[in-house]
Homo-oligomer: A and B are copies of this chain.
Amino acid sequence: MKLIKNAAGRLVPTEVNGLQQIPFKGVNKYKPTGLKAKPKIKTCIDYPTDGNKVVKDLKTALKKAGLKDGMTISTHHHLRNGDAVTNMLFDVVKEMGIKNIRWFPSASFPVHSHLIKYLEDGTIHHIEGSMNGPLGKFTTEGKMKGIGVLRSHGGRYQSIQDGEVHIDIAVIAAPTADPFGNSTGDRGKSACGLIGFALGDSEYADKVIVVTDNLVPFPCVPWQIQGNNVDYVVEVETLGDPAKIVSGTTEVTKSPDRLLIAEYVAQFLDEAGIMKNGFSFQAGAGGTTLAFAVYLKEKMKKKNVKARFIRGGSTKYLVQMLEEGLTDYILDGQTFDLEGVRSMRENAGHVNTSPFTSYNFHGKGNFASIVDAAVLGATEVDVNFNANVVTHSDGYLLHGIGGWQNCLYSKCTILAIPTFRDRIPVIVDEVTTLCGPGELIDVIATERGLCINPKRKDLLKVMKNSSIPIIDIKELKKGIDIICGGAPAKPKVNKEKVVAIIKWVDGTVLDSVFQVEK
C-alpha cells in the first residue's frame, strides 16, 4: 500500500479498496470539477399504477432489487442502538449466499456487533461509515477484509451526490410509511424523529427498499423520504427496540468538572457577544453540551435574549427553549429523546433538516457555516488546535464522525472537553488521528479555563478581562502532563497497515487509522 503525506502532514493511502483517492489539500483548497452522479432515468411504466409497492418480505425485495455479490447496500442509523433492521437485512443477505457486500451505513452501533460474523465469513467485505464501539475495535485490529472509510454526515451525502459511492440498494428503516414508499420518522411505535440521513440514499440509489412496522394508507404525511424515489416497501413486525432507538429522556452531566466546562462555555458565549438577539447555536446530546444548553437558557432568560434558531440533535432541553419562546426554530438533524420526537411531530417551528441542507460541502453553501456557535466534543486536541473525534490515544477507532467535521465551519467552534480522562491527557502534542484541522477550531473549553486559538485575536481581546481563566494551550498541556504523569503512551501500531481512512468534508483523505498491535 502506497502512503503519501497530505497537506496536513498525515500519511494517507493513494488507493483505498481499489479506488484512487485524493489526499487532503488543506481547508477550502480542493475544488471539485466534475459532474454529479447521474442515476438511471426510471419510468412509471415499471411501477404499479395503484402506487402499491408492498412486497412479501425483505428477501423478496432484495431479489427483485437484483442483489448480487460485491454490491453496495446502504442503511441509516436513526434507529441507533435499537436497530433490528440492519441485522435482519444481513441475516437475509447471508441466507441468500451473497458475498463481498460493501456496507454503507450512516453509522454503526454496538447492536451491530451481530454483523461481525458476516465480516468474518465474507458476506460483508468492508464498512464505509462511522463505527461506534465493537465494529471499530474489530476494524482497528485489522480483521476487516477491506479498508474502512469514515465520513462526516455531510461527507457521506457529498460522496453519494458526487458519484464517489454508488449505492446499489438502499434499505431505509421507516417508523411510518405508506405503500407508495412515502416515509417519516416522527410517528409510529418505533418513532425516531426524522430519517434524513437516508435522503441521499433515496435520491441516488439504484433500488430503494423501505422497511416499516407501521404501514399507513397513502399518503404518509409528512414524507421525509419521498415515495417517488422508492422501489419496494416491506412490512415487518418491528424495527427494533424503541427504548434504544430514542432515550426516554436525556440527562445533563452530574460531574462537577463537566458542569464547570458547560458553565464556562455559556459564559463565554455571553461575554464574547455571541449570545444576542437573533443568534444561533448548535450543541450535541452529550452530558456536557446538554448542561451548557441549560446554563445558556438561564442566561438568555435573564438577559431577555431570543435565538433565531438552534441546531439539533434535539433533546427535551432544546424543546423547552422552543416551547418557551427562547428560539424561533429548532433546525433538527436527529432527535435524541422522546420529547424531541414529540416536538418534531407537533411544533411547526421544529424543522426537519438533512445532511444536504445542513452539511453537504459540495452544494451552494450549507447551514453549518451560518451557525454562530457550535459546541462539540473531542477525544483529543493537540497544541495547534487540531482535533480527533474517532480514536482514543490507544489507537482504537471507537467513535463516528457524525456532523462534527461539518459543524467546525460554524462562526465560532468550541470544543468542550475535560483536560484528561481516566488519567490520560486529552490535550496532546499530536493527535492520534486528525479529524478536524486546527484552523477551524476557535476555542477549547476545559474545567481549567479556555484556550483560544491565537488566530482569533478578536476573541482573545474581548475575553481579556473575563473571570474565566484564559490559558495558553501549550501551558495547559504542560500542567496536565505533570498531573497525569506524562503524555499518553503512543499506541503500538503497524504503520504499514491502514485499517480505515478519515475523509474530509470535500471527499479528500485527511488521515489514516492504523492497525493496532496487541
Residues of A within 8 A of B (CB): 28, 31-51, 53, 161-162, 180-181, 208, 217-219, 221-223, 226-231, 278, 308-309, 329, 331, 348-349, 351, 356-357, 360-367, 369-370, 409, 411, 506
Contact = CB atoms under 8 A, between A and B. Distances in A.
A364 B38 contact: no
Contact of A39 (B36, B46, B222): B36
Nearest to A207: B364
Nearest to A230: B364
Given A36-B39, A41-B34, A308-B218, A47 B228 contact: no
B41 A38 contact: no
Contacts of A162: 41
B308 A51 contact: no
Interface-centre pick from A365, A367, A370 (highest chain B CB count, 10 A): A365
B228 A363 contact: yes
Given A28-B45, A51-B367, 18 more contacts: A35-B40, A35-B41, A36-B39, A38-B38, A44-B363, A49-B365, A50-B370, A180-B365, A181-B364, A217-B308, A218-B370, A219-B308, A219-B351, A221-B329, A226-B356, A226-B357, A230-B364, A231-B364
A217 B278 contact: yes
B45 A31 contact: yes
A356 B357 CA distance: 19
Contacts of A411: 50
A156 to B, nearest CB: 15
A495 B360 CA distance: 52
Contacts of A230: 364
A348 B48 CA distance: 28
A42 B362 contact: yes
A295 B256 CA distance: 69
Given A309-B219, A370-B50, A43 B361 contact: yes
Given A41-B34, A44-B365, A180 B28 contact: no
21 contacts: A28-B45, A34-B41, A36-B39, A38-B38, A41-B161, A41-B362, A44-B362, A44-B409, A46-B364, A49-B409, A51-B370, A53-B365, A180-B365, A218-B309, A219-B367, A221-B348, A221-B351, A228-B356, A228-B365, A228-B366, A230-B364
